[in-house]
């Protein structure tokens, strides 16, 4: 595969292309454990440039990996076949904000928090809010069907995508979806692109629904001496018909880690639940928050604190907000890896799954924290291990297999909001043999030369430790 750098430079300009090792090495990574060098990085600024790049790549059968901020956790943007990284961050215009129609039109490189900053003066917001919203781009969020702490009330990216412009593998531009809140006009192709991880087309513009900012938000925090009690409290809050705008769990491992990393002095109990209600009528918010408080108390929740004040809410939430990275500080000699990180389970299975995760980790010589947007059934974990020991990677593989076998056996899903990429592909493929032929047919129809983010999802290697480069020096 020989890439004509001169030709690509003509399309995007000298300043928007790099094939020097400093850039190639950095764009070889994302937040996952994987690493693979691309041949070149290009940064298009217009739809026409994306079309020209795709036409060139398709004719010459060169892999193309679209990339937002590179904050993905499963290796979606790691170019395991080399080729072109299509860095979409330069296409970062908020094209239109329409409060009358309650929608926005954006280019894919717009940063989630920037969009919310732009919407705030209108009293509006874009709700999905993944933890990485400070850097994550809308294009990347569409590719992963991202969601976050407010998914329990507001849903995921797919619930906001109304329409989009997509450049296909052969360079053709298509308009998918509509500008209306609903449509029943043929296949919901815009939904097909959501969660496709850059394998079906390049999103070059998106029309997204937005919501009015609630006038009141109240956050509560409760401590629990048993993880099961916390899990059961979450399940009951959901099944009781409450409408939390956030319902988060943090286990003792997570609490110790944030205390060590940030000296937060949180009580080192078995688990903490954070519950929030929002709305425009204070009495309604009071009602919801009080109902959740009572359920926490019923399940032995103690030391409950609640506040409407933004500074106090920020303080109460700070541990959860920074938990992910803090896990590396839990214990000397071990680090936090982004593996088995976002399974989804039915509401009734939260407590038992949380307990099972600790059991599996202990049996396999690794440490796993349990936290996440449990109100939506999203359980975040991370595998904490010594990355230099080869045996620890074998342990990690075993944990993943056992854990996902369990999750699938209780009706859960492999990934709730981060996507499959490389590292979650083996357990997902094992569980979803039924849909893989259909997905392969769709991929073949839209990308017959297999140039768009090849060897991801259903085409990812089965043994990710041996088949992909790990970003750590092992041995």
Partner 1 sequence: MFARLFNSKEKPRFKRSKKWENELNKCIRCGYCYELCPLFKTNNWESDTPRGKLLLIYGMITGEIKPTQEIVEKIFQCFYCKNCSDNCSAGVPVTDILTDARADLIEAGFDVEGTIVKVDEDLCSVCGVCVPVCKYEALSIEEESKDKSKIVVDKVECRGCGLCVSACPSGAISQKEGCQITLRELHTKVSDLLKENKEMKAIVFCCNWSLFPGMQLSESLTLVKTPYGLIVSMCSGRVAPELVLNAFEEGAWGVMVAGCPPEECDHDGNYKTRRRLVLLKSMLKELNIEPERIKLEWFSTGESAKLTKSIDDFVNKLDKLGPIQKMEVSKKIGG
- Which residue lies nearer to partner 1 by CB, 89 or 165? 89
- Which residue lies nearer to partner 1 by CB, 108 or 279? 108
Listing DSSP states for 125-184 in one string gives: E-----TTTTT-BHHHHHHHT---TTHHHH--GGGTEEEEEEE-TTS-EEEEE-SSS---
Asked if 392 touches partner 1 (CB under 8 A), the answer is no
Query: Which phi and psi angles does 267 have, rounded to 5°?
Result: -65, 130
Cβ-Cβ contacts under 8 Å for 160 (sequence gap 6 or more): 126, 127, 128, 208, 209, 210
Report how far apart, in Å, the C-alpha atoms of 153 and of each of 142, 156, 249 are. 19, 10, 16
DSSP state for residue 111 in the 8-state scheme: B
- Strand, helix or coil for residue 283: helix
Cβ atoms 108, 68 nearer than 8 A: yes
Among positions 9, 322, 355, 389, the unique one binding partner 1 when judged by CB under 8 A? 322
Asked if 23 touches partner 1 (CB under 8 A), the answer is yes
Q: At how many degrees (to 10) do helices 47-59 and 5-12 cross?
A: 160
Report the site for partner 1 in 131-170 (rule: CB under 8 A): 132, 134-135
Choices 277-285, 328-336, 373-381, 393-401; region in contact with partner 1 by CB under 8 A: 328-336
- Least Å distance, CB 421 to partner 1, is 14
Cα–Cα distance for residue pair 358/362, rounded to 1 Å: 6
Cβ atoms 81, 22 nearer than 8 A: no
- Least Å distance, CB 132 to partner 1, is 7
Cβ atoms 84, 64 nearer than 8 A: yes
Asked if 235 touches partner 1 (CB under 8 A), the answer is no
Among positions 338, 342, 397, 447, the unique one binding partner 1 when judged by CB under 8 A? 338
Report how far apart, in Å, the C-alpha atoms of 366 and of each of 108, 268, 335, 424 are. 38, 20, 10, 18
Residue 43's Cβ-side half-sphere holds a number of Cα atoms within 13 Å equal to 16
Cα–Cα distance for residue pair 229/352, rounded to 1 Å: 10
Among positions 328, 348, 365, 449, the unique one binding partner 1 when judged by CB under 8 A? 328
Nearest to 127 by CA among 209, 71, 183: 209
Among positions 43, 358, 429, 443, the unique one binding partner 1 when judged by CB under 8 A? 43
Asked if 239 touches partner 1 (CB under 8 A), the answer is no
Among positions 71, 232, 235, 468, the unique one binding partner 1 when judged by CB under 8 A? 71
Provide the phi-psi class of 36: left if phi over 0, else alpha when psi is between -120 and 50, else beta.
beta
- Least Å distance, CB 121 to partner 1, is 4
Cβ atoms 445, 408 nearer than 8 A: no
Cα–Cα distance for residue pair 335/322, rounded to 1 Å: 15
Asked if 371 touches partner 1 (CB under 8 A), the answer is no
Choices 192-200, 222-230, 327-335, 365-373; region in contact with partner 1 by CB under 8 A: 327-335
- Which residue lies nearer to partner 1 by CB, 292 or 400? 400
Among positions 65, 323, 407, 425, the unique one binding partner 1 when judged by CB under 8 A? 323
Choices 64-72, 165-173, 412-420, 434-442; region in contact with partner 1 by CB under 8 A: 64-72
- Least Å distance, CB 298 to partner 1, is 33
Look up tokens 């357990």; give the residue.
427
- Which residue lies nearer to partner 1 by CB, 152 or 334? 334
Among positions 324, 371, 393, 404, the unique one binding partner 1 when judged by CB under 8 A? 324
Residue 179's Cβ-side half-sphere holds a number of Cα atoms within 13 Å equal to 11
Among positions 213, 335, 431, 436, the unique one binding partner 1 when judged by CB under 8 A? 335
- Least Å distance, CB 279 to partner 1, is 24
- Least Å distance, CB 44 to partner 1, is 13
- Which residue lies nearer to partner 1 by CB, 281 or 310? 310
- Least Å distance, CB 73 to partner 1, is 9
Other residues' Cβ atoms within 10 Å of the Cβ of residue 67: 27
Choices 156-164, 254-262, 290-298, 389-397; region in contact with partner 1 by CB under 8 A: 254-262
- Which residue lies nearer to partner 1 by CB, 45 or 226? 45
Among positions 125, 216, 287, 472, the unique one binding partner 1 when judged by CB under 8 A? 472
- Least Å distance, CB 261 to partner 1, is 5
103 alpha carbon, distance to own chain's centre? 22
Report the site for partner 1 in 75-134 (rule: CB under 8 A): 87, 89-90, 92-97, 106, 109-111, 113-115, 117-118, 121-122, 132, 134
DSSP state for residue 437 in the 8-state scheme: H
Cα–Cα distance for residue pair 378/416, rounded to 1 Å: 6
- Least Å distance, CB 159 to partner 1, is 22
The site for partner 1 (CB under 8 A) is made up of 18, 20-23, 25-27, 29-31, 43, 69-71, 87, 89-90, 92-97, 106, 109-111, 113-115, 117-118, 121-122, 132, 134-135, 258, 261-262, 322-329, 333, 335-338, 387-388, 471-473
């Amino acid at each position: 595969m020989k890439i004509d750098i001169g030709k690509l430079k003509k399309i995007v300009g000298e300043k928007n292309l790099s094939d020097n090792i400093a850039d190639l090495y950095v764009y070889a990574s994302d937040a996952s454990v994987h690493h693979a060098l691309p041949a070149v990085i290009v940064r298009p600024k217009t739809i026409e440039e994306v079309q020209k790049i795709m036409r060139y790549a398709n004719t010459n059968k060169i892999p193309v990996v679209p990339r937002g901020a590179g904050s993905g956790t499963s290796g979606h943007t790691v170019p395991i076949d080399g080729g072109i990284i299509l860095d979409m961050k330069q296409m970062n215009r908020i094209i239109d904000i329409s409060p009358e129609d309650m929608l926005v039109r954006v280019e894919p490189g717009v940063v989630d928090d920037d969009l919310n900053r732009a919407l705030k003066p209108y009293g509006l917001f874009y709700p999905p809010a993944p933890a990485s919203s400070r850097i994550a781009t809308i294009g990347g969020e569409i590719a992963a069907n991202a969601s976050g702490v407010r998914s329990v009330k507001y849903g995921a990216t797919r619930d906001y995508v109304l329409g989009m412009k997509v450049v296909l593998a052969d360079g053709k531009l298509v308009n998918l979806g509509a500008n209306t809140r609903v449509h029943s006009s043929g296949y919901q192709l815009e939904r097909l692109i959501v969660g496709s991880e850059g394998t079906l087309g390049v999103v070059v513009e998106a029309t997204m629904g937005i919501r009015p900012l609630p006038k009141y938000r109240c956050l509560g925090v409760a401590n629990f001496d048993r993880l099961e009690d916390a899990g059961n409290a979450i399940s009951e809050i959901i099944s009781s018909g409450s409408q939390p705008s956030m319902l988060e769990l943090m286990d003792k491992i997570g609490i110790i880690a944030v205390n060590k990393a940030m000296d937060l002095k949180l009580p080192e109990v078995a688990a903490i639940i954070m519950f929030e209600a929002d709305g425009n009528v204070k009495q309604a918010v009071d009602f919801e928050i009080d109902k959740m408080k009572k359920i926490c108390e019923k399940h032995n929740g103690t030391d409950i604190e609640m506040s409407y004040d933004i500074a106090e809410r920020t303080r109460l939430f700070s541990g959860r907000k920074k938990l992910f990275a803090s896990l590396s500080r839990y214990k000397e000699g071990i680090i936090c890896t982004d593996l088995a990180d976002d399974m989804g389970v039915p509401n009734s299975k939260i407590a038992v799954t949380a307990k099972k995760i600790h059991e599996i980790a202990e049996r396999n010589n690794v440490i796993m924290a349990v936290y996440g947007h449990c109100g939506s059934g999203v359980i975040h974990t991370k595998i904490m291990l010594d990355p230099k020991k080869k045996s620890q990677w074998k342990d990690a593989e075993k944990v993943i297999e056992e854990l996902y076998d369990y999750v699938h056996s209780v009706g859960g899903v492999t990934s709730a909001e981060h996507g499959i990429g490389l590292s979650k592909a083996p357990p997902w493929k094992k569980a979803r043999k039924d849909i893989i032929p259909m997905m392969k047919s769709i991929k073949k129809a839209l990308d017959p030369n297999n140039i768009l983010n090849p060897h991801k999802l259903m085409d990812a290697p089965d043994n990710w430790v041996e088949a992909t480069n790990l970003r750590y020096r092992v041995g």
